[in-house]
């Protein structure tokens, strides 16, 4: 009976929290964009002329196929993250794409049409060196994989291993590349650096070593970077120091020396300090490569050369030229060369590979994006036109990981911003008000100055509103007269951006690891602006702060991005307008010393910009902006400004106080010994979080007041001992001003990674329970008790009583990749936790379920409080998945932002994909539902109105009649 | 019902519409004969006036046993005063008598907050308040009694008890803001004295 009651209570409570989208709401306020990451290999499907496929493998361990006409994903396969899923090599022959994955761990063959796996073979251990397709008598039948110590040959159609052979002297010789030309032999090229080159010949049928020789080459330090095989098995190498080319026929028995050709004889010279690069092409793996090759002499100087009868002839000198590549269609091989045209554009031209002559009418103009990076890769898809001439399309990859697909004569077919596959941090900024809205807002914002002037102001703003409305009507009328085609669609552009009624549309400012910043419209997902910051180190740390919102109308909003180079510790500030992406002209302070942390203070200057304090490694503080007004304010409030720093490597937490001269003094220090445990993460509360209710109502109608300490920090530690029995996870709640440890909890037999959320008066964290092998949620809630100590001010320095701490743990039947809490404008709406699952779903879990006051025994009072009886297992209901089937691959972070509606919270999940939606934790209590029946309601209203009128008239007539009787 | 004859003479009224119609038809049939009949029945009256009024106003005819002079009343004087007293006590004790009934209703309606208990409580609270507001009228009623002040006091106490009962009911239903939780929504978030920030070393 009790069990039944419990179930009933649970199902009742679920009724109130259940929230999911309806079928017709799909895509109404949510969108998803899928990305692949920085392209490492890209191959066009040249199997048939009409093919639209482009195969790519990226640094995010993604293997995908793109539609080359639209840029959309045809299919996408995600491998494990990290080195285990790293794509080492991508080869394509016909309909098959062969991929080597995970440093030579797996060999896979994919069917390119639908993306199905044809076969997979586990390779022997050993680090991967090279892979090549091997052809026999004009047919490609095998794929050879070279590892550090062995070479193996696999059948292309089944993946079966034909043979595997150990490489001779593999402890001294570094084998680096494979070469075959369809004559029944496979050559393996190895090198002993600065000594000699080793060439081993294998027979394809059984892997027998046919020949092995070593050739002296004392100048050579790397085979891969300086050598290429051209023209029927001739190894060609280039050396920068001697300024010469070396040739060696691989198959010749008698020649034991490399033939040296001085570049001077060709009137060429390698730029000093530049490692020259050779580019050759082998259109068909069963045929020898072409005799033509490119030699790059300096970053923007390429030369097309030809080797004929042991002599090198210069075909064409491309100076200047950024990028060159070969492309083959049918029997013709062409060379595509990109050369700078002017400051803002590059031109791409086709040249015949065997003669070096330019193909007419093949110029594509590529316009450089002033807010983008320089091009660094060129992928050419050449095809034959009906008149047998060669035409082409080209995909340009730039430093900021953007892919641009161009068609003759320079039309951009599509673009993909692959930098967005690696979003580091983001903010959501309110859109600006339109002029008229700002006018009205301004009226309320100003101080009242007399009744009369207020009336005048009101009237004038109303007249302006009327004017704009009339203007709008006139425009509508004017547009209606025009033919339909000439009327522009209502596209969202930067010019017509304005805040909507409920502030549901915002600007998403996204910072990516490549250093490219994006401004994305949250309603449609359109990229409205982009800005590429050059010279960003790959392991930089970013911190994005909104210094001024759009609320201060004549002043533009302002965001500041702090970029810290982790190697040098030096940082720079990028100050920009988040709506237009333009760099601000404000004077940025010079930061000559390494930076430790920054604080955004709620103090504002006369231009309404919040003050940013930057702390350097000597604990000196720099203020930005640092006007006189600000320095004065800082001096006045210095004694109440505190900050804390956490040094994970030394396990040290330290608290500082600001002095009037902007130096700091250490006021507390706590050390968590690094031998035992390591600080993993620290989180305070979000600055824009509002808590509406100061307490919780008990069943007996008394109040349990929340311990809402704005200075509370949650510090999570993990044990250094990872043994299953001894590992633990610790959580410390520390007051950041005084350094007092408010509470500490230890989860024994638990392991990280720990995900946690710190908000209001609670901390929720997730860890792996290594004893029971499951994920567990634990929630800590802090209460002051039945009385508030001081209801008007909160000071950490005056808190004599420690809070009451309640804790409960639950089993969560799934893995977790990220955790975040919803956030609303006033904090009235109940909170939900957004849980990113490894499957790509995002679960919206009511905080109601994570309540340490959930009782084990149901009583009258707990029922009064609407507490769900405790159940160790946390339910997962499918309607709680906010992204239904729109999975977000590899969720790394979830960003929540309040909207103008109290019921609505905006959510952006980012990882490999980006997904934006809205959630309504307490349902949409402040707006009418989407399916609200306006027709029925209004018809009923009108019906009733007319019925009243008619019956009134009838009653009058009847009264008159009666009066006459 | 009043109607006008075709010759323009207002004659009289009939109660039943059926007979009226019949009458109308018959008058049209033979107007002279009808008028003669009317005149005969209400012999002494003016034919233009109503028949029944004539019978009232014409104080010529008295019913049997009617006397013009009032009969002297001597014996019931004392009992009447007792009756007035009794009546006044009834009025004064009225609210007190309602209390057991109210208690019963209160017990029956329970403490859940729904439309019927709320209506009951409203009625229970409104009646004593209404009575207290019209106290002066009640006092006028009690004027004739000798124990006017005592009765007034009892009446007042009864009503106060009634409203106290209503308040108690409100209290037990939880409608009174007597708990700290009822004032929770009005507590402003405390002002922050210290500004704090920071984080892991970047």
DSSP A842-907: EEEEEGGGS-TT--SS--HHHHHTTPPPP-SBPP--GGGBTTTT---TT--EEEEEE-SSTT-EEE
Per-residue pLDDT band for A495 (boundaries 50, 70, 90) equals low
In the predicted structure, residue A440 carries a pLDDT above the cut 70: no
Q: What is the mean pLDDT of residues A82-100?
A: 89
Task: Say if the ipTM goes beyond 0.85.
Answer: no
Residue A408 has φ and ψ, to the nearest 5°, of: -65, 140
In the predicted structure, residue A15 carries a pLDDT above the cut 60: no
Q: What is the mean pLDDT of residues A632-654?
A: 91
Rounded Cα distance between A278 and A297, Å, is: 9
Query: Which residue in this structure is represented by tokens 């994909």?
Result: A913
Count of CA atoms in the C-beta half-sphere (13 A) of A819: 23
CA distance A647 to chain B (A): 6
pLDDT at B13 (0 to 100): 42
Q: Between A603, A694, A792, which is nearest B184 by CB?
A: A694
Q: Which residues of B touch A708 (CB under 8 A)?
A: 189-190
Rounded Cα distance between A113 and A96, Å, is: 9
Are A918 and A866 in contact, with CB atoms under 8 Å apart? Answer: no
In the predicted structure, residue A134 carries a pLDDT above the cut 50: yes
Per-residue pLDDT band for B38 (boundaries 50, 70, 90) equals low
Residue A215 has φ and ψ, to the nearest 5°, of: -120, 135
Cα dist. A471→A437, A438, A465, A474, B69 in Å? Answer: 15, 18, 10, 5, 95
In the predicted structure, residue A158 carries a pLDDT above the cut 60: yes
Q: Which residues of A touch B196 (CB under 8 A)?
A: 641-644, 684, 710-711, 736-737
Decide: helix, strand or coil at residue A418: helix
Note the pLDDT tens digit of each residue in A687-718.
888 898 889 998 888 899 999 999 999 999 99
Per-residue pLDDT band for A754 (boundaries 50, 70, 90) equals very high
Rounded Cα distance between A104 and A84, Å, is: 9
Per-residue pLDDT band for A494 (boundaries 50, 70, 90) equals low
Rounded Cα distance between A604 and A609, Å, is: 5
Rounded Cα distance between B3 and B14, Å, is: 10
Burial of A948 (0-12, 13-18, 19+ CB in 10 A): exposed
**Which of A98-102, A450-454, A861-865, B7-11 is most confident?**
A98-102
Q: What is the mean pLDDT of residues B42-46?
A: 49
pLDDT at A485 (0 to 100): 56
Query: Which residue in this structure is represented by tokens 């680096």?
Result: A176
Rounded Cα distance between A951 and A930, Å, is: 35
Q: What is the mean pLDDT of residues A445-461?
A: 75
Rounded Cα distance between A454 and A475, Å, is: 31
pLDDT at B74 (0 to 100): 60
CA A618 to chain centre: 34
Crossing angle of helices A435-445 and A451-481, rounded to 10°: 170
Higher confidence at residue A437 or residue A935? A935
Rounded Cα distance between B105 and B108, Å, is: 5
Share of chain B above pLDDT 70, in %: 67
In the predicted structure, residue B92 carries a pLDDT above the cut 80: yes
Note the pLDDT tens digit of each residue in B101-137.
888 988 888 888 888 888 888 888 898 888 888 888 8
Q: Which two tokens stand for residue A58?
A: 């990226």
Q: Between A637, A690, A790, which is nearest B190 by CB?
A: A790
Cα dist. A944→A250, A275, A771 in Å? Answer: 98, 88, 69
Q: What is the mean pLDDT of residues A642-652?
A: 92
Per-residue pLDDT band for A669 (boundaries 50, 70, 90) equals very high
pLDDT at B4 (0 to 100): 43
**Which of A91-95, A486-490, A886-890, B182-186 is most confident?**
A886-890
pLDDT at A127 (0 to 100): 86
Q: Which two tokens stand for residue B140?
A: 């006028």
Q: What is the mean pLDDT of residues A418-429?
A: 93
Q: How many CB pairs under 8 A join A and B?
A: 116
In the predicted structure, residue A764 carries a pLDDT above the cut 90: yes
Q: Could you tell me if A788 lies within 8 Å of chain B, comparing CB atoms?
A: yes
Residue of A nearest to B1 (CA): A965
Q: Which residues of B touch A784 (CB under 8 A)?
A: none
Q: Could you tell me if A828 lies within 8 Å of chain B, comparing CB atoms?
A: no
In the predicted structure, residue A160 carries a pLDDT above the cut 70: yes
Torsional class of A257: left (φ above 0), alpha (ψ -120 to 50), beta (otherwise): beta
Note the pLDDT tens digit of each residue in A715-734.
999 999 888 888 999 999 99
Return the DSSP state at B137: H
Closest C-alpha among A695, A725, A689, A731 to residue A710? A689
CA distance A704 to chain B (A): 9
pLDDT at B85 (0 to 100): 83
Note the pLDDT tens digit of each residue in A496-505.
778 888 889 9
Note the pLDDT tens digit of each residue in A195-219.
888 888 888 888 888 888 888 887 7
Q: What is the mean pLDDT of residues A125-134?
A: 86
In the predicted structure, residue B54 carries a pLDDT above the cut 50: no
Q: What is the mean pLDDT of residues A537-557?
A: 87
Rounded Cα distance between A681 and B199, Å, is: 9
**A599–B197 CB contact, under 8 Å:** yes
Rounded Cα distance between A459 and A466, Å, is: 10
Q: Best mutation site among A544, A597, A655, A785 for testing chain B: the one with the most B CBs within 10 Å? A: A597
CA distance B3 to chain A (A): 9
CA distance B116 to chain A (A): 21
**A697–B184 CB contact, under 8 Å:** yes
Q: Could you tell me if A623 lies within 8 Å of chain B, comparing CB atoms?
A: no
Per-residue pLDDT band for B31 (boundaries 50, 70, 90) equals very low
CA distance A652 to chain B (A): 10
Q: Could you tell me if A963 lies within 8 Å of chain B, comparing CB atoms?
A: no
Closest C-alpha among A382, A278, A408 to residue A330? A382
Residue of A nearest to B177 (CA): A701
Decide: helix, strand or coil at residue A171: coil
pLDDT at B2 (0 to 100): 41
Q: Could you tell me if A701 lies within 8 Å of chain B, comparing CB atoms?
A: yes
Burial of B132 (0-12, 13-18, 19+ CB in 10 A): middle
Q: Which two tokens stand for residue A732?
A: 């410390």
Q: What is the mean pLDDT of residues A646-667?
A: 91
Are A96 and A109 in contact, with CB atoms under 8 Å apart? Answer: yes
In the predicted structure, residue A490 carries a pLDDT above the cut 60: no
pLDDT at B23 (0 to 100): 42
In the predicted structure, residue B70 carries a pLDDT above the cut 70: yes
Q: Which residues of A touch B190 (CB under 8 A)?
A: 708, 790-794
Q: Could you tell me if A707 lies within 8 Å of chain B, comparing CB atoms?
A: no
pLDDT at A7 (0 to 100): 53
Cα dist. A185→A115, A142, A178, A663, A916 in Å? Answer: 32, 12, 11, 73, 55
Q: B49: how many CB neighbours lie within 10 A of its CB?
A: 14
Rounded Cα distance between A844 and A832, Å, is: 6
Beta-bridge mates of residue A641: B195
User: Parallel, antiparallel, or unpaired: how do β-strands A174-180 and A185-192 relate?
Assistant: antiparallel
Count of CA atoms in the C-beta half-sphere (13 A) of A404: 22
Chain B positions contacting chain A at CB under 8 Å are: 1, 174, 179-182, 184-185, 187-202
Q: What is the mean pLDDT of residues A271-283?
A: 83
User: Interior CA angle at A416 toward A411 and A419, to 5°?
Assistant: 140
Task: Please state, rounded to an integer, the average pLDDT across all residues of chain A.
Answer: 87
Cβ-proximal residues to A779 (8 Å cutoff; 6+ apart), any chain:
A762, A763, A764, A807, A808, A809, A810, A850, A851, A852
Beta-bridge mates of residue A165: A151
Q: Which residues of A touch B193 (CB under 8 A)?
A: 640, 793-797
In the predicted structure, residue A129 carries a pLDDT above the cut 90: no
Q: Could you tell me if A601 lies within 8 Å of chain B, comparing CB atoms?
A: yes
**A695–B197 CB contact, under 8 Å:** no
**A597–B195 CB contact, under 8 Å:** no
Cα dist. B102→A155, B115, B121 in Å? Answer: 97, 17, 10
Closest C-alpha among A177, A178, A279 to residue A230? A279
Burial of A387 (0-12, 13-18, 19+ CB in 10 A): exposed
Q: What is the mean pLDDT of residues A599-607?
A: 87
Rounded Cα distance between A896 and A912, Å, is: 18
DSSP string, A710-746: TTEEEEEEEES---TTT-EEEEEEEETTT--EEEEEE
Per-residue pLDDT band for A51 (boundaries 50, 70, 90) equals confident
In the predicted structure, residue A12 carries a pLDDT above the cut 80: no
**A648–B201 CB contact, under 8 Å:** yes
First to last CA, chain B: 103
The alpha-carbon radius of gyration of chain B (Å, integer) is: 36
**Cβ within 8 Å of B, A 796-825:** 796-797
Higher confidence at residue A3 or residue A670? A670
Torsional class of A284: left (φ above 0), alpha (ψ -120 to 50), beta (otherwise): beta
Q: Best mutation site among A571, A654, A701, A715 for testing chain B: the one with the most B CBs within 10 Å? A: A701
Q: What is the mean pLDDT of residues A167-195?
A: 84
Beta-bridge mates of residue A340: A346
Give yes or no for a cis peptide into A753 (omega within 30° of 0).
yes
In the predicted structure, residue B3 carries a pLDDT above the cut 50: no
Q: Which residues of B touch A545 (CB under 8 A)?
A: none
CA A935 to chain centre: 44
Beta-bridge mates of residue A114: none
In the predicted structure, residue A488 carries a pLDDT above the cut 70: no
First to last CA, chain A: 72
Per-residue pLDDT band for A807 (boundaries 50, 70, 90) equals very high
């Amino acid at each position: 009976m009790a069990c039944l009651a419990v179930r009933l209570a649970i199902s009742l409570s679920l009724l109130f929290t259940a929230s999911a989208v309806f079928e017709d709401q799909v895509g109404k306020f949510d969108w998803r964009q899928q990305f692949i990451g920085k392209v490492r290999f890209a191959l066009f499907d040249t199997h048939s002329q009409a093919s639209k496929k482009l195969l790519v493998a990226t640094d995010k361990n993604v293997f995908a196929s793109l539609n080359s006409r639209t840029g959309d994903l045809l299919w996408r396969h995600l491998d494990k993250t990290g080195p285990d899923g790293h794509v080492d090599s991508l080869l394509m022959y016909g309909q098959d794409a062969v991929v080597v994955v995970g440093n030579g761990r797996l060999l896979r063959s994919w069917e390119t049409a639908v993306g199905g796996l044809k076969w997979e073979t586990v390779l022997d251990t050993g680090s991967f060196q090279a892979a090549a397709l091997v052809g026999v008598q004009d047919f490609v039948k095998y794929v050879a994989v070279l590892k550090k110590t062995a070479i193996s040959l696999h059948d292309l159609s089944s993946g079966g291993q034909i043979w595997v052979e150990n490489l001779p002297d593999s402890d001294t010789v570094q084998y680096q590349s494979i070469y075959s030309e369809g004559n029944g032999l496979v050559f393996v090229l190895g090198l002993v650096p600065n000594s000699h080159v080793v060439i081993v010949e294998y027979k394809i049928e059984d892997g027998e070593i046919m020949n092995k020789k070593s050739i002296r080459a004392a100048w050579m330090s790397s085979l891969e970077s300086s050598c290429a095989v051209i023209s029927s098995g001739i190894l060609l190498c280039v050396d920068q120091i001697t300024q010469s080319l070396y040739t060696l026929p691989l198959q010749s028995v008698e020649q034991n020396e490399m033939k040296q050709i001085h570049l001077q004889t060709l009137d060429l010279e390698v730029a000093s300090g530049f490692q020259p690069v050779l580019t050759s092409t082998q259109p068909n793996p069963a045929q020898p490569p072409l005799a033509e090759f490119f030699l790059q002499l300096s970053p923007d100087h390429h030369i097309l050369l030809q080797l004929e009868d042991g002599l090198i002839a210069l075909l064409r000198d491309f100076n200047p030229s950024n990028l060159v590549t070969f492309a083959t269609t049918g029997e013709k091989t062409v060379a595509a060369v990109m050369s700078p045209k002017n400051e803002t554009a590059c031109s791409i031209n086709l040249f015949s590979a065997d003669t070096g002559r330019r193909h007419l009418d093949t110029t594509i103009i590529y316009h450089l994006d002033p807010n983008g990076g320089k091009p660094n890769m060129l992928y050419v898809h050449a095809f034959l036109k009906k008149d047998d001439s060669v035409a082409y399309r080209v995909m340009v990859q730039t430093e900021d990981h953007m892919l641009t697909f161009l068609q003759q004569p320079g039309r951009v077919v599509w673009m993909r911003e692959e930098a967005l596959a690696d979003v580091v941090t983001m903010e959501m900024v309110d859109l600006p008000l339109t002029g008229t809205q700002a006018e009205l807002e301004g009226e309320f914002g100003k101080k009242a100055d007399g009744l009369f002037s207020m009336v005048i102001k009101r009237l004038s703003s109303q007249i302006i509103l009327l004017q704009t409305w009339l203007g709008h009507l006139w425009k509508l009328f004017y547009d209606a007269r025009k033919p339909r085609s000439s009327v522009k669609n209502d596209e969202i552009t930067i010019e017509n951006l304005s805040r909507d009624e409920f502030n549901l549309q915002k600007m998403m400012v996204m910072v990516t690891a490549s250093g490219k910043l994006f401004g994305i419209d949250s309603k449609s997902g359109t990229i409205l602006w982009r800005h590429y910051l050059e010279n960003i180190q790959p392991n930089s740390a970013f911190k994005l702060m909104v210094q001024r919102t759009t609320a201060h109308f004549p002043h533009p909003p302002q965001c500041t991005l702090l970029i810290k180079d982790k190697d040098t510790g030096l940082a720079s500030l990028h100050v920009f307008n988040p709506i237009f992406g333009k760099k601000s002209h404000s004077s940025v302070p010079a930061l000559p010393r390494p930076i430790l942390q920054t604080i955004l203070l709620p103090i504002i200057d006369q231009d309404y910009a919040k003050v940013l304090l930057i702390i350097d490694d000597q604990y000196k503080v720099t203020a930005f902006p640092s006007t006189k007004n600000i320095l004065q304010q800082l001096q006045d409030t210095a004694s109440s400004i505190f900050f804390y720093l956490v040094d994970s490597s030394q396990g040290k937490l330290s608290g500082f106080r600001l002095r009037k001269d902007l130096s700091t003094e250490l006021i507390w220090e706590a050390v968590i010994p690094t031998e035992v445990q390591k600080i993993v993460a620290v989180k305070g509360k979000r600055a824009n979080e509002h808590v509406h209710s100061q307490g919780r109502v008990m069943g007996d109608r008394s109040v349990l007041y929340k311990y809402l300490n704005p200075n509370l920090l949650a510090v999570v530690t993990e044990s250094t001992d990872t043994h299953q029995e001894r590992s633990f996870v610790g959580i410390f709640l520390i007051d950041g001003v005084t350094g007092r440890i408010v509470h500490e909890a230890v989860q024994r037999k638990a392991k990280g990674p720990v995900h946690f959320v710190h908000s209001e008066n609670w901390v929720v964290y997730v860890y792996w329970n290594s004893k029971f092998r499951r994920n567990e949620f634990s929630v800590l809630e802090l209460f002051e008790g039945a009385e508030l100590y001081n209801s008007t001010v909160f000071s950490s320095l005056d808190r004599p009583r420690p809070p009451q701490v309640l804790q409960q743990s639950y089993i969560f039947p799934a893995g977790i990749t990220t955790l975040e809490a919803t956030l609303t404008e006033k904090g009235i709406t109940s909170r939900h936790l957004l849980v990113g699952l490894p499957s790509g779903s995002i679960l919206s879990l009511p905080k109601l379920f994570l309540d340490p006051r959930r009782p084990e025994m149901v009583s009258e009072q707990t029922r009064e409080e609407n507490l769900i009886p405790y159940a160790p297992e946390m339910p997962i209901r499918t309607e709680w998945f906010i992204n239904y089937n729109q999975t977000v691959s590899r969720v790394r972070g979830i960003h929540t932002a309040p909207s103008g509606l109290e019921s609505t919270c905006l959510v952006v999940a980012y990882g490999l994909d980006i997904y934006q939606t809205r959630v309504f934790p307490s349902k949409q209590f402040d707006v009418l539902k989407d399916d609200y029946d306006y027709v029925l309601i209004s018809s009923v209203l009108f019906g009733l109105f007319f019925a009243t009128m008619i019956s009134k008239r009838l009653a009058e007539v009847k009264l008159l009649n009666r009066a006459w009787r | 019902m009043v109607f006008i004859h075709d010759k323009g003479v207002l004659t009289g009224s009939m109660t039943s519409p059926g007979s009226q119609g019949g009458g109308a038809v018959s008058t049209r049939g033979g107007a002279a004969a009808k008028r003669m009949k009317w005149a005969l029945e209400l012999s002494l009256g003016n034919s233009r006036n109503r028949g029944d009024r004539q019978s009232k106003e014409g104080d010529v005819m008295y019913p049997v046993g009617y006397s013009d002079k009032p009969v002297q009343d001597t014996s019931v004087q004392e009992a009447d005063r007792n009756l007035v007293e009794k009546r006044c006590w009834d009025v004064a004790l009225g609210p007190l008598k309602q209390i057991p009934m109210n208690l019963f209703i209160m017990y029956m309606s329970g403490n859940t907050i729904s439309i019927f208990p709320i209506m009951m409580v409203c009625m229970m609270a409104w009646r004593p308040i209404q009575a207290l507001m019209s106290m002066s009228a009640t006092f006028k009623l009690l004027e004739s009694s000798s124990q006017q002040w005592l009765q007034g006091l009892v009446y007042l106490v009864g009503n106060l008890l009634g409203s106290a009962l209503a308040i108690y009911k409100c209290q037990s239903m939880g409608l009174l803001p007597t708990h700290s939780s009822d004032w929770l929504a009005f507590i402003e978030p405390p002002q922050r004295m210290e500004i704090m920030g920071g984080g892991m070393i970047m």
